Chains A and B, each alone.
Chain A
């Protein structure tokens, strides 16, 4: 068997005295879609940011293929919760920022990016400005921008959290459709359990205080998946099971936050 695409070993993060992440170990195979769910404060976003190289760990290491990564780089594409588009750039120029930064913005990268924009459903919008787009469309650019560098691993930080419920469901099916085209390795952080189950091959359930992996749930649902899947008993069963794992943690965090 080939080496895992992404390996995390002994990863620990401290903020002063506070242990935010304690000894995280995981291995993700090439082409796997992995979601991380957990209560607020479980460190799931911090974990993703460390993998991205946007934050440093206190201990442990992250490997892509078998190489240790420390800083941010174009082997990982990051899809942000807020779209973070540059308002003075067109859709195409926004999506091209990755190749531009890595000095690979040639004609080939450009035509590949145009194809990507088509893939995410923005064909014909290349010369629009972000202010002319809806929230869902802006998130599509956000996704295309991360894919434009052809990363080995795609890291997504609650990218649909700011969208309304209907748009979010559409974006979930869109993401599945896009992912089926290339089967990138994806690490997807969300607080929505049904979103995690719907998208993933495996769901990593995080616990809080300290942030750690509580359980790994393998999702044995057939692909390609359609929205109707969400109404099947198998799907509901998975959501229920994961909810029970984090219920206590969530209750606790709600109470703590009220203090």
Chain B
């Protein structure tokens, strides 16, 4: 193991030890802070009972459906806006406006429209994720180097050739960055939407645990969400190394 990753590992282990010590000896009441050992035990217990998998499955389905729809639509709308000046004029004010709005506050409304099942959560995830992806895709395409476009033009390239051979590949790093940013926003969307009303899911586990003052279970759900976020973000960083290696230098 390299010196640097060893330092990071020690930092994590040390932090957990301090947390454990503070919650055991510093905080009298387990209501206010759960120790890492208690959280680990809670995760194990939830896993054995099967509850954990049910919650992860529901939240996972909501996240994946919402995220995939947001990615597909977001990239498509981003492409449209970059290619058509008119489409951009029509869509831009709405996108800027909605992006700046805390749309998560609309979650109760979506719940009314679509019911307590997964689809209201899917819609929340879409609204939180899609704008980041639209904006990144559009910027990525629009900032394509004019020198590279001109190089292609010097060979008499058509508009569609310029798009496929230059604009799209050079927008790839931006699109991937948008998708990466969308992960964290999507996870927030799932949890908050479930907090507003749901029958199952990690957000529901958090809200139920909070109602019964079961801090280890609450933290268990948070740890699972954090791990999912970290794993997916790391996955994207790896994907970036494979797909867009030229941006590393």
> Interface residues, chain A, CB within 8 Å of chain B?
52-54, 71-74, 76-78, 80, 82, 84, 86-88, 97-98, 100-102, 129-131, 149
**Interface contact A131-B156, CB-CB below 8 Å:** no
Is B32 part of the contact surface with A, judged by Cβ < 8 Å? no
Contacts of B154 in A (CB 8 A): 52-54, 72, 76-78, 80
Contact indicator A131/B148 (Cβ below 8 Å)? no
Q: Knowing A86-B166, A101-B156 touch, does A80 contact B244 (C-beta < 8 A)?
A: no
B60 within 8 Å of A (CB atoms): no
For residue B243, which residue of chain A has the nearest CB? A88
**In the assembly, what is the distance between CA of A85 and CA of B246, in Å?**
12
Residue of A nearest to B153 (CB): A72
A92 to chain B, nearest CB (A): 15
Closest to A75 in B: B156
B157 CB within 8 Å of chain A: yes
In the complex, chain A residues whose CB is within 8 Å of the CB of B157: 101
List which B152-177 residues lie within 8 A (CB) of chain A.
152-157, 161, 165-166, 169-170, 172
Q: Which B residues between 106 and 149 are near A, CB-CB below 8 angstroms? A: 145, 147-148
CA distance A81 to B151 in the complex (A): 11
- Please tell me if B85 contacts chain A, counting CB pairs below 8 Å: no
The reply to whether A88 and B147 contact each other, CB–CB distance below 8 Å, is no
Residues of B within 8 A of A77 (CB): 154
B83 part of interface (Cβ distance < 8 Å): no
Interfacial chain A residues near B172, Cβ < 8 Å: 88
Q: With A82-B147, A88-B244, A129-B246 as given contacts, are A98 and B169 in contact (CB-CB < 8 Å)?
A: no
Contacts of B150 in A (CB 8 A): 54, 80, 84
Instruction: Say whether B249 faces chain A, with CB atoms less than 8 Å apart.
Output: yes
With both beta carbons as reference points, the residue of chain B lying nearest to A73 in the complex is identified as B156
Main SS at interface, chain B: helix
Docked Cα-Cα span, A98 to B244, in Å, equals 23
Q: Interface size of B by Cβ–Cβ distance < 8 Å?
A: 21
- What CA separation (Å) do A211 and B31 show in the bound complex? 83
Report how far A78 CA is from B172 CA in the complex, Å: 27
Question: How far is the CB of A161 from the nearest CB of chain B, in Å?
Answer: 14
Separation of A129 and B246 alpha carbons in the complex (Å):
9
Q: Given B156, B245, B249, which contacts A72 in the complex, CB threshold below 8 Å?
A: B156
Given contacts A86-B166, A86-B169, A87-B246, whether A101 and B148 have CB atoms under 8 Å apart is no
The reply to whether A84 and B148 form a contact with Cβ atoms under 8 Å apart is: yes
- Distance in Å: Cβ of A131 to nearest Cβ of chain B: 6
A97 and B165 within 8 A (CB)? yes
A84-B147 contact given A97-B165, A129-B246, A131-B246, CB 8 Å threshold: yes
Q: Which A residue's beta carbon lies closest to that of B244?
A: A88
| CB atoms of A71 and B152 under 8 A apart | no
**Residues of A close to B151: CB separation below 8 A:** 78, 80, 84, 97
- Smallest Cβ distance from B49 to chain A, in angstroms? 49
Complexed CA–CA distance, A101 and B161 (Å):
7
15 contacts between A and B (CB under 8 A): A53-B156, A71-B156, A72-B154, A73-B156, A74-B156, A78-B154, A80-B151, A84-B147, A84-B150, A86-B166, A88-B169, A88-B172, A97-B151, A129-B246, A131-B249
